[in-house]
Homo-oligomer: A and B are copies of this chain.
């Protein structure tokens, strides 16, 4: 099968390397690159050339960002080419549109690499759903923030110092907002919920990151036998579902608490199989490239042809996600109980309600931090 790569950054190069070394039945025939970077005879800066090439049956989009990725994906699908993408932002924003375009053209839409890097998470959810209902999922879906919290905990270091080190190592972007504010996890949570619950997932979900987490916060939770992880979560009950992204204070003996460095750990719960967890490299050239190549092989061999139709008509009901929350803030709170120095427990809040309380607290005390108790 001949394929084209849109983008030749970290992920695109990983795909090219893996296919040329290990997958003789697939050929990277065309590569879309910027005009000043056309260093390979397969490269072009003109997407229409790729679109018009009838021998290219499948397009791998690994450019990132919303545009022109969205336009190229829609054009490829309309032209009857299968699409494989690692771009969580564009899939989270336009999943239903892509899915119906793929269905209309009778081609496949493959998004494994958009969540959890090399972890077979999307295919794992789809496999579970062949037999079971998926009733909930949760996970550490962002390696950068896991690296930061893990290093803060193990080295007793402050957030800013660890972030600077992560940037030096290439684990964090120069502008780390998408990671540390939970945006990246929100996109992955939207995609996971869409696949797990068969719904065009609500995009206006409660999202809280770890920007204000301090060493003192970790020490406080450690005294309660917990540590903090940034989790994306979703739950379905009957015809309703809810999703959220927030710091969660998990017991130190949980698997989540012990996920090291920039690894990911994602969990689903389903009717007959019960709890399944998947762990691995959530990012990186070769792991993410591997996920793309697996999608390409699923398409080439006919082993898997995902069909997302989101026809279930589930209702978004944010009251489904409830927990006790700890707030560390100098702002005033209602109904709080002491939890430790400067921190307060507020019982039985919805994720949305907790986020609203935090938003208000941040106005009075911009350093405020919040975590759900799992």
A residues near B, CB below 8 A?
14, 18, 22-23, 118-120, 124, 127, 130-132, 253-255, 257-260, 263, 271-281, 284, 286-287, 289-291, 293-294, 297, 302-304
Contacts of A297 in B (CB 8 A): 130-131
Q: How far is the CA of A309 from the CA of B130 in the complex (A)?
A: 29
Q: How far is the CA of A291 from the CA of B130 in the complex (A)?
A: 12
Q: How far is the CA of A14 from the CA of B273 in the complex (A)?
A: 11
Select which of B258, B272, B274, B280 is within 8 A of A275 by beta carbon. Answer: B280
Contacts of A132 in B (CB 8 A): 22, 290
> Can you list 17 A-B contacts (CB < 8 A)?
A22-B132, A22-B272, A118-B272, A118-B274, A131-B290, A131-B293, A253-B258, A255-B279, A257-B258, A263-B275, A272-B287, A273-B280, A274-B286, A274-B287, A276-B279, A277-B279, A277-B280
Q: How far is the CA of A22 from the CA of B132 in the complex (A)?
A: 7
Q: Are A273 and B258 in contact (CB under 8 A)?
A: no
Q: Are B279 and A273 in contact (CB under 8 A)?
A: no
Q: Are B276 and A278 in contact (CB under 8 A)?
A: yes
Nearest CB to that of A281 among chain B residues? B274
Q: How far is the CA of A130 from the CA of B301 in the complex (A)?
A: 11
Contacts of A275 in B (CB 8 A): 263, 279-281
Q: Are A272 and B130 in contact (CB under 8 A)?
A: no
Contacts of A131 in B (CB 8 A): 18, 22-23, 290, 293-294, 297
Closest approach, in angstroms, between the C-beta of A11 and any C-beta of chain B? Answer: 12
Q: With A293-B131, A294-B130 as given contacts, are A273 and B253 in contact (CB-CB < 8 Å)?
A: no
Contacts of A254 in B (CB 8 A): 258
Q: Which 4 A-B pairs have the closest CB atoms?
A: A277-B279, A118-B273, A272-B286, A273-B290
Q: Are B18 and A272 in contact (CB under 8 A)?
A: yes
Supply 6 further A-B pairs (C-beta < 8 A) apart from A118-B273, A277-B277.
Answer: A22-B131, A254-B258, A255-B258, A257-B258, A263-B275, A276-B278
Closest approach, in angstroms, between the C-beta of A126 and any C-beta of chain B? Answer: 11
Contacts of A286 in B (CB 8 A): 272-274
Closest approach, in angstroms, between the C-beta of A17 and any C-beta of chain B? Answer: 8
Q: How far is the CA of A253 from the CA of B272 in the complex (A)?
A: 30
Closest approach, in angstroms, between the C-beta of A247 and any C-beta of chain B? Answer: 20
Q: How far is the CA of A317 from the CA of B287 in the complex (A)?
A: 30
Q: How far is the CA of A303 from the CA of B278 in the complex (A)?
A: 21
Select which of B18, B257, B272, B294 is within 8 A of A289 by beta carbon. Answer: B272
Q: How far is the CA of A260 from the CA of B23 in the complex (A)?
A: 39
Nearest CB to that of A291 among chain B residues? B273
Of the listed residues A274, A284, A297, the one surrounded by the most CB atoms of chain B closer than 10 A to its CB is A274
Closest approach, in angstroms, between the C-beta of A367 and any C-beta of chain B? Answer: 29
Contacts of A291 in B (CB 8 A): 273
Nearest CB to that of A257 among chain B residues? B258
Nearest CB to that of A19 among chain B residues? B131
Contacts of A287 in B (CB 8 A): 272-274
Q: How far is the CA of A18 from the CA of B131 in the complex (A)?
A: 8
Contacts of A303 in B (CB 8 A): 303-304
Closest approach, in angstroms, between the C-beta of A294 and any C-beta of chain B? Answer: 6
Q: How far is the CA of A304 from the CA of B298 in the complex (A)?
A: 10
Closest approach, in angstroms, between the C-beta of A279 and any C-beta of chain B? Answer: 4
